[in-house]
Structure 1
Amino acid sequence: MDKEKAAKKFVKLLEIVETLRGPDGCPWDKEQTHESLLPYFIEEAYEVMESVDDEDWKTFQEELGDILLHIALQAQIAKEDEKFSIVDSLDTVNEKLVRRHPHVFGDKQASASF
């Protein structure tokens, strides 16, 4: 995986979402709230499941992008509301993964998948 390329593209997504919600952005995007986006997020999650069930990998790729869009939108709204930033969410998940995997990132041994 080209991590640098992925990071640049993720930053581009964040910039696009910030523009869409900015002063000259899209009226629909600007009026969205955490709550108003939830039904769309659930719909996208079901579409991810369906694409995996159907082994439709092109659609799966697209639906994962839609989920990333929802994450970026929710994070942008939280940033605007001064609740937290996407960096805070990334820190939280990174710390959680390391903490939950001491057999990989620490000195513990794992003999089974639990």
Structure 2
Amino acid sequence: MYTFDDLRRIIARLRSEDGCPWDREQTFESLKKCLAEEAGEVFEAVDNKDMDNLCEELGDVLLQVMLNSQIAEEQGAFTISQVIDGLCRKMVRRHPHVFGNMKVNSVEEGVALWNQIKMQEKAKKP
């Protein structure tokens, strides 16, 4: 079974000089349509309750994340590790009722807390 590290190496090779011409020519802009299409296919798989197809389509969305992250790394903007770190930090920060000492008693309270933290974060950004 392949691992996440294998996936990183595969994507880097696809984008390398001896890789795939299509993958090498992709940009953030050219991948926008692909990401939108793949997200739509995820929605369709969910609507159809087709777990095999959902697994495949989530892989296709992950491919889009990986390609965009590889392009960013090539440009010196950020890495997939930074994407993962940022997501982990956000999940921990926005779930103090799970990772901290706050309590929520309902889904609605959890969503309200998430939105409150999100608004505070956005207010702090320049």
* TM-score using structure 2 length: 0.83
Corresponding residue of 1:79:
73
Distance 1:113 1:97 in 2: 16
Corresponding residue of 2:15:
21
| Count of aligned residue pairs for this structure pair | 108
RMSD: 1.1
- Deviation, 1:110, is 1.0
- Deviation, 1:76, is 0.2
Distance 1:74 1:58 in 2: 25
**Counterpart residue type for residue 54 of structure 1:** N
Corresponding residue of 1:107:
101
* TM-score using structure 1 length: 0.91
- Deviation, 1:10, is 1.3
Corresponding residue of 1:88:
82
- Deviation, 1:9, is 1.3
Greater relative CO, 1 or 2 (CA 8 Å, sep 6+): 1
Spell out, residue by residue over 1:36-95, the C-alpha distance to the aligned partner (whole angstroms, 9 max, x if none).
Answer: 011011000000000010011111110001011111100000000000011111111101
Distance 2:76 2:4 in 1: 21
Corresponding residue to 2:58 among 52, 58, 64: 64
Secondary structure of the structure 2 residue equivalent to 1:84: coil
Distance 2:103 2:5 in 1: 36
Corresponding residue of 1:48:
42
- Deviation, 1:23, is 1.1
Q: Mind listing any 5+ residue stretches in structure 1 that lack a counterpart?
A: none
